[in-house]
Chain A
């Protein structure tokens, strides 16, 4: 009976240590990325969704708090900042194509951003979701930090908004390739721009898996829609909430 006792001691040490959860994040990513590659980058085999499912199961099975998990995972999370800055590089490499598509980008940005916000609030409100959920849902197509601060300003829950943003990203990344093929769109600039606008960083990550040009335009759309959402929501959301929030 000495061994199980020791094993539990070791576990007590490991589970509270950043090393364990950081390793878990990297290993679950390697596994799910391997699965995605094995499937020929099939849209349904989404790297982020699979990893999040594995890690959630591990967190629940071990009774760990999300905060303890995040103490280890934050080292990976931190790299989101420099990676966002790095989006400037594919953007600059595709300078010529960006200049040639300036007008389409302006119109598509305005129309797409409005569609993403209005339909999300209208549908959830119509189905009876409370106002906190509607306000957390409105900025779902914007990148996480913008969505979180907008949700906080307009009566939503920032961390819940982050979850909606991620759900949107996973859904968008899964559906974008089949949807664009069904629509017969072969212009990778347009496909990437739509992916980055509707599904922010995850759509961009997916676009980079498919095509470098698509990735570059997704990166632009991600940046532009972050700003656009922050401009549209203060104007539109109070009106939408008035229109669609269930009166308690």
Chain B
């Protein structure tokens, strides 16, 4: 479904990725692991068109996405939940969720406001609250709910567990597992090794700006050497 072929990317003069290749098949959950600052988030931002793809190819559903702008990437069916969640503070919870609907960029599908509120009952009771008044966990749920309202074919998440309490992490884990069981394709960037490997089918280990290791989640759990070298676990 998604193929990254030798992509190079970075901010201005600074290159962060020097030829990253990976792929995600339909219905798979794939995770990108790696130490801080190896460029995991950069991979996701490059897919979204937030950073320029300087070399290499991004192919989604057989179409090249290299020069696509973020709104075009969203329209093709990729929804993004950034590390900072990026809830719009001057919009209410309801308005945050309605935004992808009123922009009409996403596809028609099974995700509706009602379904998001029953998926995340927490949010239903906070409809009229301002985006800035939510706890970290609620913000994460809102960011995921908002992304789902694009009815994406691929959901990409950047460190959804960051800064959250263990009980909330468990809840997010359950919700993502539900989405996986429904057949949603997910690309996940994580620091939380246990969270990532219990959810993912396959893993890529990023180090020194390229992919250093790839394999199934079961394999990486056993490969202490790779864990030690590229994750410092």
Q: Tell me if chain B binds chain A.
A: no
Q: Which residues of B are at the interface with A, using a C-beta cutoff of 8 A?
A: none
Q: Which residues of A are at the interface with B, using a C-beta cutoff of 8 A?
A: none
